Amino acid sequence: MSERKVAFVTGALGGIGSEICRQLVKANYKVIATVVPREEDREKQWLKNEGFQQEDVRFVLTDLTNHADATTAIQNAIKAEGRVDVLVNNAGITRDATFKKMSFEQWSQVLDTNLKTLFTVTHPVFNKMLEQKQGRIVNISSVNGLKGQFGQANYSAAKAGMIGFAKALAQEGARSNVCVNVVAPGYTATPMVTAMREEVVKSIEDQIPLQRLAQPEEIAAAVMYLVGEYGTYITGETLSINGGLYMQ
C-alpha cells in the first residue's frame, strides 16, 4: 500500500495532463497515469523528459474505450496502491466538422473517448473513495462545453456532459466527503495550439478579453486548488479559466 497520496490522471501525456502530473508529483503525490498501448514508447520518452522517477509515476497501459479491459486494469492498480485520493479525468480528442458533414464515426469517437470513458474510469475509483470516506475528482471540460462551438457539436456535447456528470456525482459523494468538480479551460498554449500558424493564434487571442492564451500551469494550478487543503468545501462547481472569453 502506498504511503503517499495517490492520484489517477487520464490523458497524462498531453500539454495540460503533463503539467497536472508535474504539479501533483511536486506536491508529493504518486501519480497513476493511464496510457493507451500504442503510446508505450512515447511514455518512456515522456518520463525521461519530465525527469520523473519510477516511484513518482506509474503507467497503466489500457485503451479506456475498451470498458472491460480498462476496468480490470484500473481495479488492479487501485488494489496495488491500496488507496486513491484524487482522480483527474483529462483524456479527450477532437474530430471537428460541421454537423451537416459530420459522420457518425466522428460523433462516436469523440463521445466514446471524452464522455463514455468517464464511467469506465470513475466507477471503480469513486467506489474506492466512498469506502475511504474521502476523495477528490476533477473533470477537465472546456469553455466549449459551456458555450458550444461551431464545428464541434460532438466535442461540445461531450464536454457539457462532463459538467452534468460532475454535478450529479457531487450529490452522491458529498456524504462520504468525496468532492467532484470541473475545470473548464479556454484556449491553452499546449504544443498542439502553439504549432498553429501565427495568424491563427493571433485571431484566437483577439477574441479573448485578456488577449492571450492560458498557460498549462494555470490550468494545473486550478486542479491543485480543488484537490488541495482549501478545496474541501467546494463540490459540484465548474471553475472557468478562459481569460474572459465566456463569462457567466
Give residues with Cβ within 8 angstroms of 144, minimum separation 6.
152, 155, 156, 159
Q: Is 236 left (phi over 0), alpha (psi -120 to 50) or beta?
A: left
> What's the CA gap between 216 and 52, in Å, rounded?
18
* 59 class by beta-carbon count within 10 Å (0-12 exposed, 13-18 middle, 19+ buried): buried
Candidate list 155, 187, 230, 246, residue with the active-site label: 155
3-state SS, one letter per residue, for 112-146: HHHHHHHHHHHHHHHHHHHHHCCEEEEEECCHHHH
Whether 155 is a known active-site residue: answer: yes
- The set of catalytic residues is 155
